[in-house]
Structure 1
Amino acid sequence: MAHIHYVECNTTHAGNFVIDVPVGYHWLLVVTKTPAQFWVNGGLKEYPAHSAILYRPLQKVYYQACTEHFINDWIRFESNEPYISESPLPPGVPFALSDPDYCNKLFELLVLEHNFNRDCKESSIDYLLRTLFNKLWESYFQDDITPQYYKLLKLRTAIQNNPGDYWTVSKMADSLGISPGYLQNIYKKTFGISCMDDVINSRIRMAKEYLIHNAQSIAEVASRCGYQNVEHFCRQFKQLTGHTPRNYQKHVKG
């Protein structure tokens, strides 16, 4: 288990903000939302927004704002859990986060759990911290995390959450301010799947759920999943599942 001393998210500081602790007391995790300067290997170095840094107990802590304001999430805590104490993350060296929005949601939940004395407080904090460190590990071992990657990730998240929307390559490219051809190239290079195949897979995944657990007609399911043509929906569904929508219902329920 871990004991949190203090945790904050979306905290804003003035441009003269500085943290200077020659010898830290506990574990400290800082996640930036704006550029900042960190003391690394004997000197100050600027790192971009969406950087994370983990300080071990008794380690020197120094970082400061380098723009008009500084925004961050941070948590100071104690723990002897191996997933923290034996973490491969480099102590005192920032690295880029692969999914900053996801991590920010975890910080928001940690703030709530820490500030309210609920029955399952300790175990909830433990699970949230484990999940947060999973995301930190994924980030540390992922290459090529760029500002463009974050834009692509937001697009993919929107597709996964709303597959029934009217998605076209041109619409997606316009939202990112790039050409359709370039979007298709970098999307597949980044995620290993084309943007429209991602849309189709997400729609068929949603359709499976509705076909099994809802009393809607095939036409209603098709419309809800973003298809204006029922025949087109049935054709794509069979291509991906090997069944027509009706046969899929019978197969799964049987």
Structure 2
Amino acid sequence: MAHIHYVDCNTTHASNFVIDVPVGHHWLLVITKTPAQFWVNGALKEYPAHSVILYRPQQKVYYRACANQFVNDWIRFESDEPYITESPLPLGIPFPLDDPDYCHKLLELLTIEHNFSRDYKASSIDCLLRTLFNKLLESYFHEPITPQYYHLLKLRTAIQNDPGDYWTVSKMAEFLDISPGYLQSIYKQAFRVNCMEDVINSRIRLAKEYLIHSTQSVAEVASRCGYQNVEHFCRQFKQMTGYSPRKFQEHEKA
């Protein structure tokens, strides 16, 4: 289990903010929302927003603002869990975070659990920390993150949260203020699937849910999933699943 000493989100500091602890007492995890300078291998180096750094106990901690303000999420804690103490994550060296919004939500939940005494507080904190460290590992072993990656991630999240919207390549390109051709190139490079395939996959996944667990007609499901033409929906659904919507419904409810 882990014991949190302090956790906070969206902490904002002025441009003269500095943390200088020659010997840290506990584990410290810092996720930046703005650029910052960190002391790494005997020198002060600047790192971009959405960087994460993990300090072990007794490790020197030094970082500072390098813009008009410094904003970060951070957590100071103790733990003897192997997923932390034996983690392959680098110590005292920042690396880019591949899904900052997801990790921010985990830190918000950790803040809530830490601040309230609930029956399952300890196990909830442990589960959240394990998930957070899984996300950190995914980030650390992620392919190099391009400047456009975070914008693409917001677009992909919007698609998956609302696949029934009228998504087109042109609309998605407009979302990012780039050309349709460039969008298709960098989207596939980032997620290994092209943007319209992602839309279709999300729509069919949602359609399956409605077909199995609702009483809506095939036409109603098609409309809710972003299809203006029922025949097109049926054709695409069969292409993706091997079943027509009606046959899929019968098969799953049998």
Please state which band the TM-score falls in when normalised by the shorter chain.
over 0.9
| Matching residue's letter, 2:89 | L
User: 1:188 Cα deviation (Å)?
Assistant: 1.0
Name the CA distance, whole Å, in 2 between partners of 1:185 and 1:194: 8
Please name the residue that 1:21 is paired with. 21
Identity between Structure 1 and Structure 2 (%): 79
1:92 counterpart = 2:59 = no
Name the CA distance, whole Å, in 2 between partners of 1:114 and 1:146: 34
Please name the residue that 2:109 is paired with. 109
User: 1:248 Cα deviation (Å)?
Assistant: 0.6
SS where residue 148 of structure 2 aligns? helix
| Matching residue's letter, 1:187 | Y
Superimposed CA distance per residue, residues 53-87 of structure 1 (whole angstroms, 9 cap, x where no aligned partner): 00000000000000000000000000000000001
| Matching residue's letter, 2:226 | G
Please name the residue that 1:226 is paired with. 226
Please name the residue that 1:213 is paired with. 213
Q: Which contiguous aligned blocks of 4+ residues in structure 1 show a shift greater than 2 angstroms?
A: none
| Matching residue's letter, 2:139 | S
| Matching residue's letter, 1:139 | S
The total of aligned residue pairs comes to: 254
1:203 counterpart = 2:215 = no
User: 1:189 Cα deviation (Å)?
Assistant: 1.4
Please name the residue that 1:249 is paired with. 249
SS where residue 4 of structure 2 aligns? strand
Name the CA distance, whole Å, in 1 between partners of 2:36 and 2:146: 16
Length-normalised TM-score, structure 2: 0.99
Length-normalised TM-score, structure 1: 0.99
Please name the residue that 2:139 is paired with. 139
Please name the residue that 2:30 is paired with. 30
Structural RMSD (CA): 0.6
Please name the residue that 2:50 is paired with. 50
Name the CA distance, whole Å, in 1 between partners of 2:213 and 2:87: 42
| Matching residue's letter, 1:220 | E
What are structure 1's unaligned runs of at least 5 residues? none
User: 1:24 Cα deviation (Å)?
Assistant: 0.3
